[in-house]
Amino acid sequence: MTEAKGRWPKLDPDSGVEDATLLILEWLGEQGVGAMIRVDAERMREGRPTWTFAASGGPFSDGMRADGASATECMGRALLKLREAGLAVPF
């Protein structure tokens, strides 16, 4: 693992995970994991889960994906999968 570069702000514990999403993505990149979060307007119109988190690299040789109806739900599901794969996400 790489060391933090000293740019992590203090997070408000009452805010949602979506406030930490960019920090999580940056941290994952530092661990050798490529990741993204996106919203899909077509799925929104169809009433399907709109948000998708995707990651590859590191422990994800085949990649991983998490979907949710909101950014918060999507990132919550993604964090569970990341931690199950052994990545101790610090947020």
pLDDT in tens, 76-89: 999 999 999 999 99
Neighbours of 19 (CB within 10 A): 16
Using CA atoms, how far apart are residues 69 and 35, in angstroms rounded to an integer?
A: 19
Can you give the residue ranges of every domain in the chain?
17-84
pLDDT digits (tens, 9 = 90+) for 23-75: 999 999 999 999 999 999 999 999 999 999 999 999 998 999 999 999 999 99
Helices and strands (H and E) in the chain: how many:
3, 3
Question: Residues 32-51, buried b or exposed e (16+ Cβ, 10 A)?
Answer: ebebebeeeeeeeeeeebbb
Q: Quote the pLDDT of residue 73.
A: 92
Q: So what's the pLDDT on residue 21?
A: 92
Q: How confident is the model at residue 17 (pLDDT cuts 50, 70, 90)?
A: confident
Q: If you average pLDDT over residues 5-28, what whole number do you get?
A: 70
pLDDT of the residue at 11 = 46
